[in-house]
Amino acid sequence: MYSTEDYTKKETSILNQYFTNVDRPVFAIYNLPEVVKGALFARYSRTTKSLRRLFLDEFYSGTEGVFPQPVTATEVNSSRAERLYDRVFSEYGDDSVAQLGSAHVACEQSSNVLTKILERGRLTSYLEQSTRYIFYDKKDVINQYLYYVPTEVFNSTNRDKYSKILDSNFVDYSFLVRKIYGFLQNKFPKSDKDSQSVYNATMRAKACDAARGILPAATKSNVGIFASGQAYERMIIRMNSHPLQEVRNCADMLLEELRKIIPSFLKRVDIEDRGVKWSNYFRDKRINMEKISAITDVEAEPSLEVNLIDWDKDAEKNLLAAALYEYSSISEIQIKRIVETLSKEESHRIIREYVGQRSNRRHIPGRGAERSYYRFDILSDYGSFRDLQRHRMMTVEWQRLTTDHGYVTPELIDEVGEIKRWNNVMSRSEELFDTVNSISGENVAQYVVPFAFKIRYVMQMNIREAFHLLELRTSRQGHPDYRRICQEMHTLIRDKAGHKLIANSMKYVDYQTYELERLEAERRNSNKTT
């Protein structure tokens, strides 16, 4: 049984404006500024009062008209909340209170270089404009194709050449995506059981997937972000140390806009001995490492698209111990000794039971499966990297985008007879890369590199994350390039690491090939809408 706190009629009327109920132990808060919500919880941890009583006693002024109606909640008396934050930070040294307030931010007209920086934080949620559902052949309000011109190029002698070649690439993209779309319509006539919208969406996704390799990393995108004050603080501090002006400019704009809604969370960012010092730490470390990395300036050896380079050799034994730990009362060391005595059949039975009877890919083993890891060195097209990098719970580290590793060519380009056009785009992009690199440096030169060019990156994941990544990214509706990468990861776990039991437990890894990847998904979406 739960106890119910007594409130007066007036108190109940007040609380109903800001809390979803006044008589249950679980409730939500709404119509209050983020700083007030955060301060409430910060104070909550140091009082015996209930949250609603705390609100009435310490945050509600009691004066008619002083505490606003829900519509004008941004005008709430936040001074107390801000003072509390200052005290918590300075006296208690508790950074965690900055996790209790959050904000939604839109970052528009961001290059695809910048979007990867914005999406780096693990504790950040975001959605990015897709290259799969939108034709990028439209121009903006000032009649320019949707690519970013970095300040470093705008102020250089390369400006005209940069714009001329990227304009040409977008013209070729427009031609190709439309030609492929028409080709697909002839190759795959609409079925009577599919609506026109389902058919059009499927054809568009297939055409966009094939043509996206022409788009340069300078291509503009829109990103929606939701994060805590702490996550934004760390994002901005790191961005302030970045060598690209676009990234630093975006950091300045983020700080300015966030200070309009959650100012208390971001007071330290530009304080000399706090945020500035932290940014300088990142900057100095990067500069020094770039100098030291000269020892790696040797000719690159041929490498696989996907290579498993490190893994827990005792993964299955460690998984056994981790799986049993939660349901035991003895130490993990003792459990591991017991595991060593188990037969192969007993070991397999325990893992099967721990994985459970999975009826869909969202049924993933518990945190015991985070005990062991796999580390992959990958050389794939930049387009695939953009999709895989979004799995931020993994460790993902990537090198600069260059033209050094060559590029991929989708089969559809050959099918429509446009290999020459494709190669011409890549050739002139390589030339432009060298030109920009010679004047503005290799960081700026990244902007001109088309998505088809390969980038090298490392992905390290635990077993639990491997379940999520490999089953999701091999599903039918996925892009064929990253589906192939994830299929190979799964094969390497099974064959190179020899972890057959773990690999076989990933029962929703899909090795089939599909001609129209999005068709079934579009049909399902249509049925849901209907």
pLDDT digits (tens, 9 = 90+) for 24-58: 888 888 888 777 887 787 777 678 788 899 889 88
* 213: DSSP letter: G
Q: How far is CA 518 from CA 417, 469, 514, in A?
A: 24, 19, 9
Amino acid identity of residue 324, one-letter, is L
pLDDT of residue 97: 66
Residue 72 banded pLDDT, cuts 50, 70, 90: very low
Contacts of 113 (CB under 8 A, 6+ apart): 217, 218, 244, 246, 247, 401, 446, 447
The answer to whether residues 208 and 137 touch, using CB atoms and an 8 Å cutoff, is: no
pLDDT of residue 67: 39
The whole-angstrom separation of Cα 292 and Cα 343 is 50
Contacts of 63 (CB under 8 A, 6+ apart): none
Phi/psi region, residue 441 (left: phi>0; alpha: psi -120 to 50; beta: rest), is left
For the chain, percent of residues with pLDDT exceeding 70? 92
pLDDT at 412 over 50: yes
The arithmetic mean of pLDDT across residues 443-453, rounded, is 98
pLDDT at 13 over 70: yes
CA angle at 272 for the pair 268 and 273, rounded to the nearest 5°: 80
pLDDT digits (tens, 9 = 90+) for 245-261: 999 999 999 999 988 88
Half-sphere exposure (Cβ direction) of 361: Cα atoms closer than 13 Å: 17
pLDDT of residue 102: 83
- Listed in sequence order, the DSSP H helices in 293-389 are 315-325, 332-340, 344-355, 382-388
pLDDT at 69 over 80: no
pLDDT of residue 522: 83
Residue 462 banded pLDDT, cuts 50, 70, 90: very high
The token pair that represents 245 in the structure block: 């002006």
The arithmetic mean of pLDDT across residues 73-78, rounded, is 46
Average of per-residue pLDDT values in the chain: 89
pLDDT of residue 180: 96
The arithmetic mean of pLDDT across residues 92-103, rounded, is 69
Phi/psi region, residue 207 (left: phi>0; alpha: psi -120 to 50; beta: rest), is alpha
pLDDT of residue 70: 40
pLDDT at 71 over 50: no
pLDDT at 503 over 80: yes
The answer to whether residues 517 and 478 touch, using CB atoms and an 8 Å cutoff, is: yes
The predicted model scores a pTM of 0.87
pLDDT at 530 over 80: no
pLDDT of residue 123: 86
Residue 389 banded pLDDT, cuts 50, 70, 90: very high
